[in-house]
Structures are given as C-alpha cells and as structure tokens.
C-alpha cells in the first residue's frame, strides 16, 4: 500500500469530508431549498390546498437533509477510495514499484516467496472489504433515517385528524408529505450509493485479479 494512504490520513479525510458535506448541503438549503419550500408551503396553506410536488417541498424536511449530507459524504469517501485504487493500478504498471501495492515493508520481490504473495494479496482483499464497510453502513443508515421521517410524519398527520374533519386538510397533507417524501428520497439515495459501491467493488476485484496474475502466475 502506498505511503500516502494510511490510517491517519484516512481518518483525517473522513473528518474533513464530513464537515465539507455539512457545509455544502447547508448552503444548498439556505440558498435554494428553504426559500422555495417556504413559498410553496405558504401558498398551499393560504389556499387550503395540498402542497405541490416541487423538489424543494420534497427535500425540505430534516430527514431528507440528513440523508443528503450522508449521501454526499459517502460519495466523497468513495471517490477517495477510487483514487487509491487508481494509484495502485498505476504502481502495478511500473514494475519497479509494483510490490508497494501489497506492502511498504518489502522493496525487493526476490525476498518474497509464492506463499507470502498469497498472504499479502489476501490481506489486500480484506483491507478492501474494510474500506467499504463505512460506505455500506451509510447505504443502510439512509433508508433508516427515511423511515424515521415516515413514522414522524404519520404520527403528526394522525394528530391533525380533527382539523381535517373540520375541513382544513393542509396540516394533515403536509404531515403525510413528510412521511412519504422522506422515504422516497432516502430510497433513491440508497440505490445510487449501492450503484457506486458496486462500481468500487468491481475495481477492487479487478485489481485483486491483476495482482494474482502478476505475482502468483509464473
């Protein structure tokens, strides 16, 4: 594994990318989502109609905001790991540095026998799986947060049933919108993350195959 990628650098990137994700989504909401959502929701309330299916209305609730932060965070982390993989591919193309893809402790391939190569490649594969654990957790967490929004929205809608019976349906429809929109957004984001994970896993598997063909097949 190359010198640039280590536990300290990875942890630092996770922290920085998390706050960058929060900042970007916060600016996005303050500049676009919140003003538009307020305008559409005010219009619906004044006219006693259901809120329109505008993207700002769909994204306005805190559950969707949290999901977007996690989604962007996972994308940044995934891009980071993709850069690591691309760097490993580059090192493999340079025969004098190819061993550094597997370990930093050895520089001369003559010091490594076939059994040690097998162990190093298996360790590399295990490290790949550990790298993706974080992103896979986010892909699970996002739908869960969406379901929390669904429960919150349905509970709020039920508390406004009396208003709906009296003819004011805006409160109930708004709460039901929270319930359905949060799950809708969360599931879409989860699908996109899983697609991204699949792409990274494909690159990882291709690299493992390349390592085996280079070091094990004589």
Q: Each residue of 170-190: pLDDT tens digit?
A: 666 666 777 788 899 999 999
CA atoms within 13 A on the CB side of 91: 21
Measured CA to CA, the distance from residue 88 to residue 206 in angstroms comes to 11
pLDDT reading at 1 higher than 50: no
Mean pLDDT over the full length of the chain: 78
Is there a domain that residue 89 lies in? yes
**Residue 155 forms part of a structural domain:** yes
Q: Whole-angstrom Cα distance, residue 44 to residue 122?
A: 59
Whether 167 has a pLDDT exceeding 70, the answer reads no
In a domain, 147, yes or no: yes
Residue 51 predicted with pLDDT over 70: yes
pTM, 2 dp: 0.79
Residue 68 lies in a domain: yes
State what percent of residues in the chain have pLDDT above 90. Answer: 26
Q: Which two tokens stand for residue 180?
A: 């359905």
What would the pLDDT profile of 89-133 be if each residue is shown by its tens digit? Answer: 776 666 544 555 555 555 555 555 566 666 666 777 767 777 788
Task: With respect to residue 180, please indicate whether it lies within any of the assigned structural domains.
Answer: yes
Domain span at residue 64?
Answer: 7-215
Selection from 48, 69, 7 nearest residue 174 by Cα: 48
Distance CA 106, CA 37 (A): 58
For the chain, the domain total comes to: 1
- pLDDT category, 70, cuts 50, 70, 90? very high
């Amino acid at each position: 594994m190359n010198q640039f990628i280590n536990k300290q650098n990875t942890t630092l990137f996770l922290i920085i990318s998390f706050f960058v994700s929060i900042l970007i989504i916060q600016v996005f909401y303050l500049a676009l989502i919140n003003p538009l959502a307020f305008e559409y929701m005010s219009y619906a309330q004044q006219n006693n109609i259901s809120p329109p299916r505008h993207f700002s209305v769909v994204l306005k609730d805190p559950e969707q905001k949290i999901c977007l932060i996690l989604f962007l965070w996972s994308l940044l982390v995934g891009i980071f790991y993709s850069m690591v993989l691309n760097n490993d591919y580059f090192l493999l193309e340079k025969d004098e540095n190819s061993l550094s893809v597997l370990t930093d402790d050895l520089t001369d391939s003559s010091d490594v026998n076939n059994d040690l190569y097998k162990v190093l490649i298996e360790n590399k594969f295990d490290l790949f799986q550990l790298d993706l654990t974080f992103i896979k957790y986010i892909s699970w967490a996002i739908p869960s947060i969406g379901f929390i929004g669904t429960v919150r929205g349905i509970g709020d809608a039920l508390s406004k049933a009396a208003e709906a019976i009296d003819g004011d349906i805006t409160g109930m429809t708004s709460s039901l919108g929270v319930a359905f929109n949060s799950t809708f957004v969360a599931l879409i984001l989860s699908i996109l993350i899983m697609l991204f994970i699949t792409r990274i896993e494909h690159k990882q598997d291709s690299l493992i195959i390349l390592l085996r063909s280079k070091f094990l097949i004589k």
